A and B are shown apart, each in its own frame.
Chain A
Amino acid sequence: MNTRTSIEKIREKAAAMRRDSIEMGYVAGSHGAHFGPALSSIEIVASLYFGVMNHNPQDPCMRERDRFVMSKGHACLSYYAALVEAGYLSREQMYTFKGDNSILPGHPSCHVEFGLEVATGSLGNGFAIACGMAMAAKIKNETHNVYCVLGDGECDEGLIWEAAMNAVKNKLDNLIAIVDRNSFQLAGKTTEIMDLDLAKIWQAFGWEVVIVEDGNDVASLLDALQAMQQSGSGKPHLIIAQTVKGKGISFMENNLGWHAAPINREQYEQAQSDLELV
């Protein structure tokens, strides 16, 4: 199913999303942007929007659409970029990022007509809301899936585990969560702040868990996502995608200083030339 050409197409989308993310971050000027958290998640979001999810930019509110929830809302740049590349948001809208009166703040707000499904930014909540949305689909006998991206640091929140238990209890096998395992959070490496053996813990909570060794590789992500879609285990699904925070921009990769920061002209140009090499 994943032909070379379809994978290649998603890679191109991912490359475009990286460029869009840098563009948006640059127009935000001194407000800065969460570059690192967005860049690690680009391939995850691109694989969902351009390889896996059933959705229609011409009909954003289509009832049977798969739902997407960016629970680590500070990574909104990769989400907004996907919506731009898919055609939900115009380029003009894209360039309003963080501007006065914009619908694109530094954490997503809810505008389903523009593909903005759930307002997030307060960590932990998006995932718990996604569980409720998956339950609603079950109750209404709807066959769409709910996809949710969360951060590895976000898994510190007790709410994540309250929701994880509830999802298992309700057999939410229409829920596929992807942890963007970039091994950093805000104040340091996850091993320093809160060292969690995520695969073991999620498994112990009753989730079906798959680890993607290179979570910035589209082909591996697609394999994992499709395996989850077809699993039939009756359990909610979790993919741990091992990614690189700041992926694709030389000076941002694994650099905590780029969790959130403004980018200056010189850095912007450097980022652009980094992206040409990809």
Chain B
Amino acid sequence: MGNLTLEKLQDWSKQGHRTAFGEAMVLLGQDNSNVYVVTADTTPTARLTNFLKTFPDRLFDVGIAEQNLIDFSAGLAKEGLMPFAVTLAAFAPMRCAEQMRSAIGYMNLNAKVVGIEAGVRFGPLGNTHFAMDDLAVARALPNFTVLSPSDPHQIYKALFAAAELDGPVYIRLTGAPGFPILYPDDFEFKIGQAIEYRSGTDVAIIATGAVLAQAIGAADLLQEKGLSVRVIDMHTIKPLDKAILDSVFAENRLVVTVEEHSAIGGLGSAVAEYKAGFAQAPRQLMVNLGDRFQKVGSYEFQLQENGLTEPAIARLVEENLA
């Protein structure tokens, strides 16, 4: 685990994904002197104050200007620096999708875009602050790799892996304060290679992001009832791990995708698009945020409204496995 300790992970888990991100960026900055950070009046929001202190010459704040955030980063990348452009996932990719496509994507630049607080964790703030569409947008941009890590440890790994990859990456971050450590020990993280978190033959639950924890909890409930549940951590949305999906379609009776994202264009869509080429494949159920603006309310309320809880996922599987 190098300079990453279990104490650090525990602290990141307690503070939430933003702290995990901001602190991991300091470690990445120490590891790779070509890493730069660009923010849009979001330095404290993304917990990058420590990065700024540690590397005062390697963080640029462009002001509240998301299009410029991306094109400025593209310019840095064009000349050989490796920028991480960071703002709320509500605004990047959506507010600057065209810049991500025409600058970073089209020129295949080595720039990374990080969307913090993806999904509906900002439930009380209203729909302008939800990112239900970021995977759909980022997936549609050629050349982009799309990552969606599930726990504090994987956030760290994903950032280092993104820095190793020479090309455009969008990193979607989720995980409220208290999001659990799902990988306490060192583990292998390879872009494009999903992690079989648990093996099982009846149903395969494929999840992405911090709601993997809910998928695991649902699997526990189902196992108590004697079902054999496979759990897959699909941390890379693009390129999709087709090999693991081949085995799921061959071995499991039911597929359930779980994501904190719109019904359109995210993990469920990606899996369904691939599955469309199979003459015979199991049925797929999709747990997601639907295709609607959300009501106002706490994060717990949002998850409940959308069936993104352990009992709701377990119930859905039970009802459909019979």
Contacts and interface: CB of A to CB of B under 8 A. Distances in A.
Do A and B come together as binding partners? Answer: yes
Interface of A: 28, 31, 73, 98-109, 119-124, 153-154, 156-158, 185-187, 193-194
B301 to A, nearest CB: 5
Contacts, number: 90
A106 B44 contact: no
A107 B126 CA distance: 6
Contact of A122 (B63, B67, B91, B295): B91
B125 A107 contact: yes
Interface string B50-61: 000000000001
B63 A105 contact: no
A193 B126 contact: no
Interface residues of B, number: 28
A106 B124 contact: yes
B296 A193 contact: no
A107 B128 contact: yes
Q: Which of B42, B64, B122 has the most CB of A within 10 A?
A: B64
B128 A185 contact: no
The A interface is mostly helix, strand or loop, or mixed, namely loop
A185 B65 CA distance: 13
A121 B41 contact: no
A28 B95 CA distance: 28
B297 A185 contact: no
A140 to B, nearest CB: 28
B45 interface: yes
A275 to B, nearest CB: 24
Contact of A105 (B44, B45, B296): B296
Q: Which of A28, A108, A187 has the most CB of B within 10 A?
A: A187
A100 B61 contact: no
Contacts of A157: 64-65
A109 B130 CA distance: 13
Given A106-B129, A187-B42, A98 B124 contact: yes
B126 A123 contact: no
A123 B124 contact: no
Contacts of A193: 41, 61, 63
Nearest to B94: A122
Interface in B46-78: 61-65, 67-68
Interface of B: 39, 41-45, 61-65, 67-68, 90-91, 95, 122, 124-129, 295-298, 301
Given A122-B91, A158-B67, A193-B61, A100 B44 contact: no
A114 B242 CA distance: 51
A219 B316 CA distance: 62
Contacts of B64: 123-124, 153-154, 156-157, 185-186, 194
A142 B11 CA distance: 58
Contact of B128 (A101, A102, A122): A122
A219 B85 CA distance: 44
Contacts of A194: 62-65
A122 B62 CA distance: 17
B124 A186 contact: no
Contact of B41 (A73, A102, A156): A156
19 contacts: A98-B125, A98-B296, A101-B295, A101-B296, A105-B125, A106-B122, A119-B127, A119-B128, A122-B95, A156-B64, A158-B68, A185-B63, A185-B64, A186-B41, A186-B44, A187-B39, A187-B43, A193-B61, A194-B63
Contacts of A103: 296
Contacts of A28: 124
Contact of B65 (A105, A120, A158): A158
B117 to A, nearest CB: 13
